[in-house]
Amino acid sequence: MIRHIVAWRLATEDPAEKAAQGRKIAEDLLALQGVVPSIEAISVGPDVVGGTNWDVALVADFADQAALEAYQTHPDHQVVVAYVRSVVADRVAVDFEI
């Protein structure tokens, strides 16, 4: 199994806009479960603590690297990626075996 972890910093400094964008990213990514067949498990949400934390994080599990690649290139995921890129200032990710 491959665990895929991603965190984003949103570009906006406006708290209301940041909250709305964080919710949209989480909702859009969670909606991919059942649509993208290679997702084994997915959890995503906006940060609830604040401070110097990143704004939104995703944890998703895939059977193997091919399944992760199928997710990353899936057309419905690409629609979400386009929105995320339009509102994000920075991204960090790591993939590891579990």
All domains of the chain in start order, with CATH? 2-97 (3.30.70.100)
Count Cα atoms within 13 angstroms, Cβ side, for 63: 7
Mean pLDDT by 10 residues, the chain (98 residues): 98 95 98 98 94 95 98 98 98 98
Distance between CA atoms of 46 and 95, rounded to whole angstroms? 20
Q: Tell me the pTM.
A: 0.93
Q: Which residue has the tokens 């386009």?
A: 82
